Structure 1
Amino acid sequence: MEPITLRLSTDTLDDVDNEAEEQGLSRAEYLREIVENRHEHEEIRSEYEAKLSGYEEKLSELETEVKRLRNEKRLILEQREENTELVEYVETEKSLTERKAQAGIVTRAKWLITGMPTEEAE
């Protein structure tokens, strides 16, 4: 092995010493391990980048699906409102038809001339 000289700040050296102690290694052994395993981190990084790319694609698909579902929800709510209005109209027409059927001939003739009053006017 070739000896080398490395200059580090006091804070960095203290951090290295603490980390080496946690690993149960000397400073030299710890630094040697870091240097020898430096490519291992690149492989892990490549794996994470591939996973990240997959997650980004999935996120994009999910965002598109959320937009589609929001539009579908909006259309359903609009249709529900329209259906509610139609039901109210049909119920009103049904009520008017029932009133006409129950009214006498004179009342119906009067309504034909003057128009049928609404329930609120009675």
Structure 2
Amino acid sequence: MTSCQEDDRVLFKLATAKKRVLPELERRQAQTNLSRNLRYMINTALEDERAQTQPAEEASVSTDSTATRKRGRCCICPRQKDNKTTMRCSLRNSSVCSRNAKKQLICLSCQK
């Protein structure tokens, strides 16, 4: 085999492996009994894969700064308090007020 054929074969194997692993990662992401580190690694892998499959212009639009991000109601505080914030949990991407987030911007429910 030539080196070009070997490269194509390796790329094919990687693409096939990703197709088989991604559904399992998405299924595991929904489980609530995972450790914080494992949940973080799964989210990072899925975000990397989504960033690779999105066109370049869509990816740049989705990476907005906190100044332009819409405010949302804190997902942990009771609705009666109506705490609105621009901070988001880095694992679930849900709105979290400063009282319910640690320094790494991980909400208290994800830390459990």
Normalised by the length of structure 2, the TM-score is: 0.25
Q: Judging by fraction of residues, say which structure has more helix.
A: 1
**With CA pairs under 8 Å and 6+ residues apart, which has the higher RCO, 1 or 2?**
2
Normalised by the length of structure 1, the TM-score is: 0.24
